Amino acid sequence: MKKIVSLALVLCLALGALAGCGSKNTADTKKVVMWSHNSHAKSALVEIIDDFNKGRGKEIGVEIELVMKENEMEKMLDLAFSSGQAPDIFTACSFQKQAEAGNLLDISTLPGMEKYIEKYDGQLAELRCKYHGVLYAIPTVATTSGVAYNKDLFKAAGIVDENGEAKAPKTLADIREYAKKLTDTSKRQYGIAYAMKYGGWFGSTIQSPSMVNCGYNGYNPVTGTFDYTNLKDTMQLVLDIKKDGSYYPGCETMENDTARALFAEGLIGMIYADSWDVGVFDTQFSTKIDWAVAPLPVADENAQVYKQVMGCGLSTYMNSKITDKITKEQAFEIFELLNGKEKQKKFYEKGIDIPYDSEVIKEADSSKLNPKFKQFAELVNISILPPVTIKYDIGTERNLSTRFAEDVWAGKTTDLDKLLTDYSKIVNDGVKKYADAHPEYDGKSFLVENWDARR
């Protein structure tokens, strides 16, 4: 009997030893806390972290605790850092302020980051990914822009190709021509809407679309100077459409949500839109129309065409003290888990985010994606992050958007050349003014001598 008991004890000990093979003891597991404000991605993020905690995390002795912080994250971060209770990882912050306070980890020190630094060479800009030359984040998510158009209205107006399908606008001339054809005042139907009360309307409708014609949208990173004269074509288009009367009335007081609602209701044929608008149209407004997305229109198809502007979302930030808790190797594994190729691919396939890396888009299974989301994603191939501009100080001078609204749209002036030339001088004088007032400021870090936005 004693032999049987002894044998059972030996077996239990052996099984216990085997159970511990390949994994850390729970007591040795280090917990890192992550704060996320991305409520739209919560379920997918929970899935990724749970899989890690149950698998690879156990192997390397690290567990991630996810805490959702959807409101006033910056204020909560300030309080957490001041009280010594800051998270180890977080999805958003005023990174210049936190970098100056020494609260952020220089991710270039993590073993394995070399491949990302090499891949995004020339794209890790100062004040976007770096501060004083130190790397704190990389771009991971893209926001693309295009012209959303109502295919039903296009077909009804005869704007179709040889197969009878809606013909997407390609040029500025197309936008004007189609807007006129789409306008039917008896039906309260118009070609396009301009949400001029929306703070971003000028940038999304005039300034950003100008980049496809010249390779920059105001700031020339090669020379470090500003030249707004290339906005003339996109600015003139707005005035031509005003002259034709093919825009929805009341644009001076129109908010962006109003313009988007009009599009969703089928009352306008075209609208400048961003990739996040897919969710707005399909969820917020429950759009019933058949619509699609076209690239931003060019002035001349036969001339050199440049890439269009896109925005980006950055990787998670890491607390500078995270390596007091876990090794740099472990920190890199977590960084890659939360920001790397596989995560970007999974989020794209779920329709959450568009990857900044176009290679991920090509490799992903997009068969179940919303077609419009996929169309916006495909624009990454012809898009580029605009350079971060050099600093300037124009004092109480009105910005270009205000000048256009108050002087040009209001009919006080028709001389676009003078408007744009004068404003270019004001801003360039502002560059010198800022530099003189801040002798410690080095504007050279905002020069990109090899900038090339050609398609």
Residue ranges of the chain with per-residue pLDDT less than 50: 1-23
Provide, for the chain, the percentages of residues in helix, strand and coil under a 3-state DSSP scheme, each rounded to the nearest 5.
45, 15, 35
**Are the C-beta atoms of residues 372 and 364 closer than 8 Å to each other?**
no
What is the DSSP code (8-state) at residue 446? G
Query: CA torsion, points 292, 297, 300, 302, in degrees to nearest 10?
Result: -40
Q: What is the DSSP letter of 161?
A: -
Locate 113 and state its tokens. 């980051």
How confident is the model at residue 283, as a pLDDT?
Answer: 86
Fold of 145-309+387-446: D-Maltodextrin-Binding Protein; domain 2 (3.40.190)
In 3-state terms, what secondary structure has residue 297? coil
Q: Give the SS3 label for residue 34.
A: strand
Q: How many residues does the chain have?
A: 455
**DSSP sequence for 57-76:** HHHHTEEEEEEE--S-HHHH
| Tokens 């501009």 sit on residue | 389
- Sign of the alpha-carbon dihedral angle for 283, 285, 289, 291: negative
One fold for 25-142+312-369 and 145-309+387-446: yes
> What's this model's pTM, rounded to 2 decimal places?
0.91
Nearest to 380 by CA among 449, 301, 311, 329: 311
Nearest-Å Rg of the Cα atoms of the chain is 26
Residue 184: strand pairing partners: 189
Domain 25-142+312-369: give its CATH code. 3.40.190.10
Question: What residue ranges do the domains of the chain occupy?
Answer: 25-142+312-369, 145-309+387-446
Kindly give, in sequence order, each residue whose CB lies less than 8 Å from that of residue 311, ignoring residues fewer than 6 positions away: 142, 143, 274, 385
Matching residue, tokens 């495909």: 378
Phi-psi region of 224 (alpha: psi -120 to 50; beta: other; left: phi over 0): left
The dihedral of CA 348, 351, 354, 359: what is its sign? positive
Output the six-digit token pair for 36. 């996320």
Output the CA–CA distances (angstroms, integers) from residue 135 to 28, 170, 190, in the order listed: 31, 39, 48
CB atoms near residue 434 (< 10 Å): 16
Sign of CA dihedral 175, 356, 291, 266: negative
